Amino acid sequence: MAETETDFQRELGAHGLIDPMETHARREHPSAKEYIRIFVILVVFTSIEVSIWYVRQQMGGWYLPVLFPLMVAKFSLVVLWFMHLRFDDRRFSRFFLMGLAGAVTLYFIVLLTFRTFLR
Amino acid sequence: MVDAAITKKHDEHETTTGLPHTKLAMWLFLSSECLLFGALITTYVLYRNASIKGPYPNEIFDIAYTSVSSFVLLTSSLTMVLSVNAAQLRDWPRMRLWLLTTAMLGMTFVGGQVYEFTSFYREGLAITTNLFGTTFYTLTGFHGVHVTVGILMLLSLVAMSFADRLGDEPAFAVEMVGLYWHFVDIVWIVIFTVVYLIPTSGPHK
């Protein structure tokens, strides 16, 4: 079925009817097994986050540099796999990134303005 | 083949973008939600160390308890995506099972939040006690309301699937609710780190 759709889309692309990369789903969504694999990674990352909270005093300045990448990784895994942005049309990603980047930029400027990072 | 292609293109791409506008609107909505939660999280960060009287975060947060809540919400994301997967495979009984499991996990999370709020209140932290209380309850309260709305959407999906009222593409409807649910999960991923795991000034345990 997927192969038929690919051929179909290729045919449309060959006649200039669509951009082959601008289809609703760029790739097939993952299987249940892959979702479970992603979930295990998320659980491991969360466990690391919680574990390092208990040893944050000993970690000193390393605590936040370890914590933030874990948060970003978890966020990205959910968005890319569970929300299918990795597999769906790129325009959906652009829509979401527009708001996300706007929010991060805007509020980072607000925090800088109030010198939050210097306190 | 080309004629068929044109016919199919005409049928499938009724929208000007060639994409389902419902899904596009959902992503736009989630994009705007980033701004909403961004404002609430920023306000919390801005005032996190500004309270002039307690209770302070380090005095009342129970990280072990909140971690369990986080695992519950994380698990609900898995069950949600499994229900989308079942819907795409047109396995309706499994889809309903995972939807109900997701709703149950969501209810567990909200119940946990209500318990947490109650215990914080008993320890002297009301919404008007200090800046920490105001920003904390507003942020996590808004998130809790979003989870509650998500639960209602999940239960509606189950009821509509039993009544056979999910339209021609039930998987699409489940996927849309799934996007909302996962968004609620990613917001919690940020809240859990920024609010609970980042130490604040004030008396430490």
What ipTM did this prediction achieve? 0.89
Chain A: closest CA distance from residue B28 (Å): 6
* Domain edges within chain B: 22-197
A35 and A68 both lie in a single domain: yes
Banded pLDDT at B53 (limits 50, 70, 90): confident
Query: Are B81 and A42 contacting, i.e. CB atoms less than 8 angstroms apart?
Result: no
Tokens of B63: 């990280």
Query: Would the pLDDT of B2 be above 80?
Result: no
Q: Can you list the pairs that A41-44 forms with residues at least 24 positions away whose Cβ atoms lie under 8 Å?
A: A41/A77, A42/A74, A42/A77, A42/A78, A42/B74, A42/B77, A43/B71, A43/B74
- Listed residue (A70, A97, A69) closest to A83, CA to CA: A97
Chain A: closest CA distance from residue B118 (Å): 23
Domain that holds residue A36: 30-83
Query: Would the pLDDT of A34 be above 80?
Result: yes
B71 contacts in chain A (CB < 8 Å): 43, 46
A35 and A57 both lie in a single domain: yes
Tally of structural domains, chain A: 3
Higher per-residue pLDDT: A109 or A8: A109
What are the residues whose beta carbons fall under 8 Å from the beta carbon of B152, sequence distance 6 or more?
A: none
Query: Do A43 and B71 count as a contact with CB atoms less than 8 A apart?
Result: yes
pLDDT digits (tens, 9 = 90+) for B95-130: 999 999 999 999 999 999 999 999 999 999 999 999
If you average pLDDT over every residue of chain B, what do you get?
A: 90
A4 and A39 both lie in a single domain: no
Query: Do A100 and B1 count as a contact with CB atoms less than 8 A apart?
Result: no
A41 and A25 both lie in a single domain: no
A84 contacts in chain B (CB < 8 Å): 175
Amino acid at B139: L
B192 contacts in chain A (CB < 8 Å): 49
A51 and A36 both lie in a single domain: yes
Task: Tell whether A87 is within 8 A of chain B (Cβ).
Answer: no
- Listed residue (A4, A62, A46) closest to B8, CA to CA: A4
Fold of B22-197: Four Helix Bundle (Hemerythrin (Met), subunit A) (1.20.120)
Chain B: closest CA distance from residue A3 (Å): 15
Alpha helix (H) ranges present in chain B? Answer: 2-12, 21-47, 57-60, 63-88, 92-122, 131-162, 170-191
